Structure 1
Amino acid sequence: MAKKKFSKDWIHQHINDPYVKMAQQKGYRARAAFKLSEIVDTEKLLRPGDVVVDLGSAPGSWSQIARERLVGPGGVIKGRIIALDMLPMEPIEGVEFMLGDFREDAVLNQLKELLGDARVDLVISDMAPNLSGVSSADSARIQHVCDLALDFACHHLAPDGALIVKAFHGSGFSQTVELFKRHFHRVVERKPKASRVKSSETFLVARRLKA
């Protein structure tokens, strides 16, 4: 009974969520679009000409925001967006999509081949692992996903590039922040307005790789 009530409450909250309504009006695939939009505006990131890698991209709302920001005069996309997810994603004009699990070496190598020698200006990751409800196991999964995004960024970002990842407050969070600070000159937490108040999610923005 409690579970049924919870589902009804969630559906009611979702339907009446102003960001869900705005996403529908603007043609975004998810309300998460507004999270990235606020972060890149605050941090003054994403300009025409940038090379962007979107990890855990499905359903595609973050790639949509990236595409909007890379469109130059005349509606031409200047730059490159490579999106990757283990779930299929409906095509977005100007976005190169790869189907695969980022945690697998073979998929990671394929992504590296696609990039070639290009340095990445921005890595964005809205990835979140499937959670079991066992806090210690879930913390380890979340840390692992953040570590993978960090490792990729360290090898492929331009010196003044940036990394945005979704993280969660709780066990292991402070260690993740410390690890990011070891590799970047500036690391800040961002909690966008579109992020639900009750959610423990936060976004780490890391800028300028250390030598």
Structure 2
Amino acid sequence: MGKSSKDNRDIFYRKAKEEGWRARSAFKLIQIDEEYSIFEGVKKVVDLCAAPGSWSQVLSRRIFKDGSDPDIKIVAVDLQEMAPLKGVIQIKGDITSLQTANEIISHFDGHLADLVISDGAPDVTGLHDIDFYGQSQLILSALNITTQLLKPGGTFVAKMFKGDDMTLMYSQLKLFFEFVSFVKPKSSRDSSLENFVLCQNYIPPPSYKPVMIDPVLENQYKQLQYQQLEQHQEPINNNNNTSVSSSNKIIVPFIASGDLSPMIDIDQSRTQLN
């Protein structure tokens, strides 16, 4: 990491401390809004993978404000608990669960969200391909629940890692949004592979029916789906007894084969052999 990157990190770190933000990542959401106006006209927001709460904190200050508008609702979701924030409803839940989706919607009085955001990331291994795959699966999980929550015309923002397969992610997201772009706020370090995917104007395919399918765990479902695609059979039903249309099949999942844990550094293995 170069000196300039360290200086930028220190600037935003100090600024976060001075302004009372829980983490410097708050500035990333603020800068995305400043450039793309994602908060404009927004009254109902969902923050996925919210802990420790810096993005929810931005929503509290920039959207909820003094609480004078009763129509504004902010829901934060995470498996971990976080300290309370003014105007933010917290749900401890799994974003791959239909129960979590229903609980979120229940707080919106039958309405859908204007904006869904996610700053979540898996534990980083240091192996770029594995980290990129894990982050991609997390985005698909966030997109999965977003199709249950987001109103037509809404916006979706999620953390993304740079990788060779970004075109695949772009194609998958373009099925649901008119505009998809990758953005990197200035508060994100230049040396970091982190950027954010900004999806605007949610327009799901006419035949699409939202279903809650875990893109990592539903391998049995995927295998049956592949068989039907090959045999040109009718679509199967998922666990919720909801028919899955041809639009749902367009998102092609990735299935890891074998155990990834024994992977070792190639340089280390050569040293051992020598």
What range is the shorter-chain TM-score in? 0.7 to 0.9
8 Å CA contact 1:35–1:192 kept in 2: the answer is: yes
Q: Which amino acid is 2:49 matched to? A: G
1:9 — aligned with what?
Answer: none
Whole-Å Cα distance in 2 between the matches of residues 112 and 71 of structure 1?
18
Q: Deviations over 1:92-119 (max 9, x none)?
A: 0110001123234543443344445211
Query: Is 1:61 aligned to 2:54, yes or no?
Result: yes
* RCO comparison, higher one (Cα < 8 Å, 6+): 1
Change (3 A) 1:199 1:159: same
Given candidates 67, 71, 75, the residue that maps to 1:76 is: 67
8 Å CA contact 2:105–2:111 kept in 1: the answer is: no
Using the size of structure 2 for normalisation, the TM-score is 0.66
1:26 — aligned with what?
Answer: 19
Kindly state the Cα deviation for residue 71 of structure 1 after the two structures are TM-superposed: 3.8
Task: Give identity over the alignment, percent.
Answer: 31
8 Å CA contact 1:53–1:123 kept in 2: the answer is: yes
Change (3 A) 1:110 1:14: farther
Change (3 A) 1:144 1:116: farther
8 Å CA contact 1:181–1:187 kept in 2: the answer is: yes
Using the size of structure 1 for normalisation, the TM-score is 0.84
2:212 — aligned with what?
Answer: none
Q: Deviations over 1:147-195 (max 9, x none)?
A: 1111222232121210000010114322111111121100111100110
Report the secondary structure of 2:196's partner residue: strand
1:133 — aligned with what?
Answer: 126
Q: Which amino acid is 1:194 matched to? A: S
Q: What RMSD, in angstroms, separates the aligned Cα atoms of the two structures?
A: 2.4
Change (3 A) 1:103 1:184: same
Report the secondary structure of 2:175's partner residue: helix
Task: Give the structure with higher Rg (CA).
Answer: 2
1:86 — aligned with what?
Answer: 79
Whole-Å Cα distance in 2 between the matches of residues 71 and 109 of structure 1?
22
Whole-Å Cα distance in 2 between the matches of residues 21 and 152 of structure 1?
35
Whole-Å Cα distance in 1 between the matches of residues 42 and 157 of structure 2?
18
Change (3 A) 1:159 1:21: same
Greater share of strand: 1
Whole-Å Cα distance in 2 between the matches of residues 27 and 201 of structure 1?
24
Gap runs ≥5 in structure 2: 205-274
Greater share of helix: 1
Change (3 A) 1:125 1:104: same
